């Protein structure tokens, strides 16, 4: 059975003890650090920006997966690169020239990630699948941690898996929002490679153990 990569979302960490929480994740079996950037325009919330992420990056010992919930993400390629991010994830809905943006992200040596809101169908990225290293499906409406998983995303995962396999691509499927021990197995079976988990990890009595449970789901 396939073992998923686990990307805990730092949005649910204790911001007063970020260093402690990041060191805990360094010691755990998680794979990526998922950093949620919100601008108050693309989504109805504001989280953190580059100065905070630079502080996180100094402590983090695993690849940074930067999820930009902002308009015009193309303006920030250099800043995300400077941060040392491994994955730059941009929303299909937030940019006009998606193909150009993905090509530029790859040119900077990062993995190009494209994210779809729950209401955006898979066909919107059919023509740029070759340019994406990661496709992330939102299973909640972006903006907040701790929301309930939107069920129809499982069917979208299956459709996307089929499109990727049909074209013999290596594109990773990532899922973000409401992921927990009760739906992790189903998601991996449907074809997910990377599970993002915020509240499931940080609200657990033992976050490192919860990461192992998600991995083995
Ligand atoms: C939502 C963010 C998610 C969120 C996940 O806008 O993109 O990454 O932090 O949190 P949970 O796992 O609690 O839904
Ligand atoms: Zn996210």
Evaluate: CB of 194 within 6 angstroms of ligand 1.
no
Residue 154 structure tokens: 């499982």
SS3 138: strand
Spans of the chain, pLDDT less than 70: none
> What are 8-65's pLDDT values in tens digits?
999 999 999 999 999 999 999 999 999 999 999 999 999 999 999 999 999 999 999 9
Residue 126 CA, ligand 1 centroid: distance in Å: 25
Residue 35 CA, ligand 2 centroid: distance in Å: 7
Report H helices in 74-183. Answer: 77-83, 98-107, 153-166
Evaluate: CB of 31 within 6 angstroms of ligand 1.
no
Evaluate: CB of 143 within 6 angstroms of ligand 1.
yes
Token pair 């992921």 in the structure block, residue? 179
Evaluate: CB of 199 within 6 angstroms of ligand 1.
yes
SS3 29: coil
Residue 39 CA, ligand 1 centroid: distance in Å: 15
* Choice from 113, 139, 140 to test ligand 1 binding pocket (greatest atom count within 8 A of CB): 140
List residues with catalytic annotation: 36, 176
In the structure, ligand 2 is a single-atom ion and the residues with CB under 5 Å from it are 36, 67, 176
Atom of ligand 1 nearest to the CA of 179: 12
Neighbours of 3 (CB within 10 A): 12
Residue 2 CA, ligand 2 centroid: distance in Å: 22
CA-CA distance, 144 to 154, in Å (whole number)?
Answer: 20
Evaluate: CB of 12 within 6 angstroms of ligand 1.
yes
Token pair 């993995």 in the structure block, residue? 111
What local confidence, expressed as pLDDT, does residue 96 receive? 97
What local confidence, expressed as pLDDT, does residue 1 receive? 72
What local confidence, expressed as pLDDT, does residue 49 receive? 98
Evaluate: CB of 8 within 6 angstroms of ligand 1.
no
């Amino acid at each position: 059975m396939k073992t998923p990569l686990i990307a805990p979302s730092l949005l649910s960490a204790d911001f007063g003890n970020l260093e402690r929480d990041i060191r805990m994740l360094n010691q755990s079996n998680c794979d990526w650090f998922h950093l949620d950037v919100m601008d108050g325009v693309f989504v109805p919330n504001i989280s953190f920006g580059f100065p905070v992420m630079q502080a996180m990056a100094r402590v983090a010992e695993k690849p940074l997966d930067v999820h930009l919930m902002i308009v015009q993400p193309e303006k920030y390629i250099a800043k995300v690169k400077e941060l040392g991010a491994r994955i730059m994830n941009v929303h299909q809905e937030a940019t006009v020239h998606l193909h150009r943006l993905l090509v530029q992200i790859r040119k900077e040596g990062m993995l190009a990630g494209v994210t779809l809101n729950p209401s955006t169908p898979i066909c919107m990225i059919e023509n740029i699948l070759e340019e994406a290293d990661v496709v992330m499906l939102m299973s909640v409406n972006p903006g907040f941690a701790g929301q309930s998983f939107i069920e129809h995303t499982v069917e979208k995962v299956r459709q996307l898996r089929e499109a990727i396999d049909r074209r013999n691509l290596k594109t990773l499927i990532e899922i973000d929002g409401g992921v927990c021990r009760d739906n992790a197995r189903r998601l991996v079976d449907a074809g997910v490679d990377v599970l993002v988990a915020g509240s499931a990890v940080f609200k657990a009595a033992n976050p490192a153990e919860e990461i192992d449970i998600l991995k083995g789901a």
